[in-house]
Every structure is written in C-alpha cells, then in structure tokens.
Amino acid sequence: MAVESRAPIEVESVRDEERFFGGDIVWWCLLLLVSIPVLLWGLAAIPDTGGFLLLALGGIMAGVGFTQIMMRLPYLTNGFMRSVLIVLVAAVILCGIALLYNFTLDVPNAPQDVMFKPPISGG
C-alpha cells in the first residue's frame, strides 16, 4: 500500500496565490458584518447563558471572517506593513464600537441583602 503524495501547488504569479485561500472575499466580509450585531446582541444579554453563547458564536464568526480578510490584505494592498496598519485600524474600530455600545447598556442594581455589611464583633 503506497502513500500518495501530492505535488506542491505551483503558481506563475504571486497574485494568483490568493485564490487558493478558499472562498470569495465578499462572503468573508459579509460574515464579518453579520458577526458584529451578533456580538453586540450577546454583549447586551451577557448576564444570561444565552448571552454568553451569542457572544461566543459572534466571536467565532468575527474571528474567522477577520482572519480570512486579513490573509488577503497583502495581495490587495501590495504591501505587508500597509495591510498590518489596516488590520490594526479595523481592530480598533471594532473594539471601539463594542466599547461605545457597552456604555449604553443598563447596569442592574444589586439586591439589598448584598449591600449591607455584617456586624463585626470584637472590633
């Protein structure tokens, strides 16, 4: 029983290499755009278990979409440092959106029984 080996993929131009990543960049951008409301919805419902599940689902969707877009950026921008700068700016914008949305959420009041300190004896 022989082990079948595959020849490495050979491309004539580096620009043709991007199509081997899998999928079209438009669908990955759409996945990233859909993941942002899912993340914010999960952030709003975070005290419940469903909120944690939505936050995890949105994080996975955003991570996969952001990674696929990030891998293609050097081919689109014709420079590695330019693509790194774009990724950093995009990450700051996404985190800023989540932070600003977090400021608008209501903070629940603590129940009365946890607000009082127990009497300390011998103090």
pLDDT in tens, 27-56: 888 998 999 999 999 988 887 899 999 999
pLDDT in tens, 55-103: 999 999 999 988 888 888 887 788 888 988 998 998 899 889 889 988 9
The helix-helix angle for 25-44 and 80-104 (nearest 10°) equals 30
Q: CA nearest 55: which of 64, 66, 63, 46? A: 46
Q: Are 53 and 79 in contact (CB under 8 A)?
A: no
Report the C-alpha gap between 50 and 83 in whole angstroms: 35
Tell me the CA end-to-end span of the chain in Å, nearest whole number: 82
**Residue 112 in this model has a pLDDT that exceeds 80:** no
pTM: 0.66
